[in-house]
Amino acid sequence: MPDLIFNRPTDNYVYSGSKVRAGDNSTTLTLASRYNESVIDLCANSNIDISASTLFLNGQIISEGGIQVGSGIHGGRITKSSNAYEIVIDPFGVDGSNSTTQDASGSVVIMGDLIVRGNTTTVYSTNVDISDVLLTLASGSTFTSITDQDKAGIQLGNGYANFVYNKTADRWTTSVGLTISGGLTVTEAVSNDNKITGYAGIDYSGNVLALTNASQLPVTWSTFALKTSSSSGGLPASIGDVSNSWVDATGYVLSKTVINANSFIKIEFKVNYTASPEADQTLSFRVLKSITGIDGSYNTTVFSDISLGSNMGVTFNNVYYGTFIDNLANAFDATTVPVSYKLQLRRDCPNYDTISTHYGIQASSGNYISLQELFRPMPP
């Protein structure tokens, strides 16, 4: 029997039977093109095989079992979930009945922008990798519309830690402590209800000021170096008769490791001394500096006070208090070598005379030598 051709658009063809079969094969019904190309096969295994290159539908596709795209490692599925109002896009092709525990292998690639319209976006991934250089939160808000109750920011878990914006104070706030391993630059005033701790140091370019008359800004003991008569080695007496030459005052040497070689050093010496009871004999003091270590070369005279004593042939006991501000002037590597100072004394008498009665520094519990760094970060 020749082929039957139904091609008149004015005709309606109604078939009222229960089955339609074409050809001798009882397992397949083939709908072909005019060139006898198989386009749709209705198969005995309940599958419909559509081999057309393009399929045009004006209505909906409704599937209870899901939609398979591709096959094997180059395929994936879109399925419904066991949760209400939820679908699963599964590039691995596994049944998506439980989207939180199933195999999450594979990738979903969206070539254009992704717009999510909803109240909550939940990500079950262990890591979130975003290559964008700017992450914008609360993009639909303005400073006028946002409130403190919005708690805009970042929150962990049920809120045990968060980093949110406080509109009233116009600043970011954290509910837990904050540790910064790198530098922190503050360009405006810092207000703090508790305290700020910097384990690696705090550098500032402005002023550190007390907020009230009761506030205190203490000078730390670590900026000082001090030696007294009770220190190791002590400050013994330096009584003698060596004349007309400088000699070291025994024990009066001290060093300080400074933060910056541009700093100043405040030097203080306090010594009890006895002047000569003989006429025309005086006592002088001077301080020398070493920038090559405490046992280095003391070849710089910092200051001197000369010709102390009565010069009247009367025994004279007094206290010498010497103080000076020494500019280190960035003359050495402060990070490796401490700066050191020592005290010398000189007993002077006429060249035709000798010292009969010894004199000089007396041992006393009140004697001391101290150094303090007056920090300066750079030259003026």
**What are 246-299's pLDDT values in tens digits?**
999 999 999 999 999 999 999 999 999 998 888 888 999 999 999 988 888 999
- On the 0-12 / 13-18 / 19+ scale of CB atoms within 10 A, 64 is exposed
Backbone angles phi, psi at 75, to 5 degrees: -140, 170
Which among 312, 358, 321 is positioned nearest to 343, based on CA atoms? Answer: 321
| Tally of domains in the chain | 2
In degrees to the nearest 10, what's the CA dihedral of 140, 141, 147, 151? 50
Residues 320, 237 share a domain: yes
Residues 274, 152 share a domain: no
Residues 240, 159 share a domain: no
* Highest mean pLDDT (candidates 111-115, 195-199, 257-261): 257-261
Q: Is 249:329 a contact under the CB 8 Å cutoff?
A: no
Mean pLDDT is lowest, of 58-62, 153-157, 351-355, for: 58-62
pTM: 0.58
Tell me which of 29 and 286 has the higher pLDDT: 286
Tell me which of 12 and 374 has the higher pLDDT: 374
Structure tokens at 114: 């992704």
Count CA atoms closer than 13 A to 310's CA, side-chain side.
14
Query: For residue 132, is it within any domain?
Result: no
Query: For residue 117, is it within any domain?
Result: no
- Region for 53 from its dihedrals, namely left if φ exceeds 0, alpha if ψ lies in -120 to 50, beta otherwise: alpha
Query: For residue 106, is it within any domain?
Result: no
Query: For residue 356, is it within any domain?
Result: yes
Q: Which residues pair with 274 in a beta bridge?
A: 317, 360
pLDDT tens by residue, 204-259 = 777 787 778 888 888 899 999 999 999 998 999 999 999 999 999 999 999 999 99
Give the model's pLDDT for residue 159.
87
Query: For residue 228, is it within any domain?
Result: yes
Report the share of the chain in percent with pLDDT over 90: 32
Give the model's pLDDT for residue 67.
83
Averaged pLDDT, 198-204: 78
Work out the mean pLDDT of the chain and round it to a whole number. Answer: 82
Residues 364, 268 share a domain: yes
Dmax over Cα atoms in the chain, in whole Å?
157
Give the model's pLDDT for residue 207.
78
Tell me which of 92 and 36 has the higher pLDDT: 92
Tell me which of 163 and 313 has the higher pLDDT: 163
Mean pLDDT is lowest, of 45-49, 95-99, 306-310, for: 95-99
Residues 282, 150 share a domain: no
Q: Which residue has the tokens 């091609």?
A: 7
Query: For residue 290, is it within any domain?
Result: yes
Instruction: Inform me whether the pLDDT recorded for 2 exceeds 60.
Output: no
Residues 365, 238 share a domain: yes
Residues 368, 228 share a domain: yes
Would you place residue 130 in the very low, low, confident or very high pLDDT band (cuts 50, 70, 90)?
Answer: confident
Q: Which domain holds residue 150?
A: 145-177
- Residue 46 CA to residue 24 CA, distance in Å, equals 19
Cβ neighbours of 79 (radius 10 Å): 21
pLDDT tens by residue, 316-360 = 889 999 999 999 999 988 878 899 999 999 999 988 889 999 999
Instruction: Inform me whether the pLDDT recorded for 183 exceeds 60.
Output: yes
Residues 162, 237 share a domain: no
Would you place residue 96 in the very low, low, confident or very high pLDDT band (cuts 50, 70, 90)?
Answer: very low
Give the model's pLDDT for residue 274.
92
Residues 265, 354 share a domain: yes
Residues 329, 250 share a domain: yes
Residue 304, domain CATH: 2.60.120.760
Averaged pLDDT, 124-129: 82
Query: For residue 281, is it within any domain?
Result: yes
Residues 173, 294 share a domain: no
Residues 165, 228 share a domain: no
Instruction: Inform me whether the pLDDT recorded for 124 exceeds 70.
Output: yes
Instruction: Inform me whether the pLDDT recorded for 310 exceeds 90.
Output: no
Query: For residue 152, is it within any domain?
Result: yes
- Residue 356 CA to residue 284 CA, distance in Å, equals 18
